[in-house]
Amino acid sequence: MWSYVARRVLATLPVMGVVAVIVFLMLRLSPGDPAAIIAGDHATSEDIAQIRERLGLDRSLAEQFVWWLGQLLSGDLGTSIYLDRPVLGLILERVEPTLALSISTMTFAVALAIPMGVVAAWKAGSWIDQSIMALSVLAFSVPVFLIGYGLVIGFSLTLELLPVQGFVSLAEDPVGFARHLVLPTVALGLVYTALLARITRATMLETLNEDYIRTARAKGLAEPRVLILHALKNASVPIVTTIGTGLALLIGGVVVTESVFAVPGIGRLTIDAVLQRDYPVIQGVILVIAGVYVLVNLAIDLAYSLLDPRIRY
Partner 1 sequence: MAQEPVLAVESLRVEFATGDAPPVVAVSDMSFEVHRGETLCIVGESGCGKSLTALSILRLLPRPYGRIGAGRVLLDGRDLTTVSEAEIRAVRGRAISMIFQEPMTSLNPVLTVGRQIAETVMVHEGLSWQDCMDRALEMLRQVRIPEPERRLHEYPHQLSGGMRQRVMIAMALACRPRVLLADEPTTALDVTIQAQILDLIRDLQQETGAAVVLITHDLGVVAEMAQRVLVMYAGSKVEEGSVEEIFDAPSHPYTRGLMAAMPHLGGGRGKRLNEIPGVVPALDARPPGCAFAPRCMQAVARCHAEAPPLVQIGGTHTVACWAHGQGARA
Residues in touch with partner 1 (CB under 8 A): 124-125, 210-212, 214-222, 225, 229-230, 233-234, 307-310
| In the complex, least distance from residue 304 CB atom to partner 1, rounded to whole angstroms | 11
| In the complex, least distance from residue 223 CB atom to partner 1, rounded to whole angstroms | 9
Kindly give, in sequence order, each residue whose CB lies less than 8 Å from that of residue 267, ignoring residues fewer than 6 positions away.
98, 253, 254, 255, 256, 257, 258, 259
Instruction: Name 79's bridge partners.
Output: 86
The Cα 98–Cα 76 span in angstroms is: 21
Nearer to partner 1 among residue 49 and residue 128 (C-beta):
128
| In the complex, least distance from residue 241 CB atom to partner 1, rounded to whole angstroms | 16
Nearer to partner 1 among residue 21 and residue 311 (C-beta):
311
In this structure, the dihedral spanned by the alpha carbons of residues 13, 15, 16 and 20, taken in order and rounded to 10 degrees, is 130
Instruction: Name 86's bridge partners.
Output: 79
Nearer to partner 1 among residue 85 and residue 219 (C-beta):
219
The Cα 221–Cα 1 span in angstroms is: 32
Residue 114 and residue 200 in contact, taking contact as beta carbons nearer than 8 Å: yes
3-state SS string for 123-147: CCCCHHHHHHHHHHHHHHHCCHHHH
Nearer to partner 1 among residue 16 and residue 124 (C-beta):
124
| In the complex, least distance from residue 229 CB atom to partner 1, rounded to whole angstroms | 8
Nearer to partner 1 among residue 231 and residue 248 (C-beta):
231
| In the complex, least distance from residue 107 CB atom to partner 1, rounded to whole angstroms | 24
Indicate the DSSP class of residue 79.
B
Kindly give, in sequence order, each residue whose CB lies less than 8 Å from that of residue 296, ignoring residues fewer than 6 positions away.
244, 245, 247, 248, 251
| In the complex, least distance from residue 301 CB atom to partner 1, rounded to whole angstroms | 17
Nearer to partner 1 among residue 38 and residue 232 (C-beta):
232
| In the complex, least distance from residue 58 CB atom to partner 1, rounded to whole angstroms | 60
Nearer to partner 1 among residue 83 and residue 202 (C-beta):
202
The Cα 253–Cα 231 span in angstroms is: 32
Nearer to partner 1 among residue 121 and residue 288 (C-beta):
121
Residue 139 and residue 191 in contact, taking contact as beta carbons nearer than 8 Å: yes
Angle at 269 between CA 143 and CA 181, to 5 degrees: 55
| In the complex, least distance from residue 219 CB atom to partner 1, rounded to whole angstroms | 4
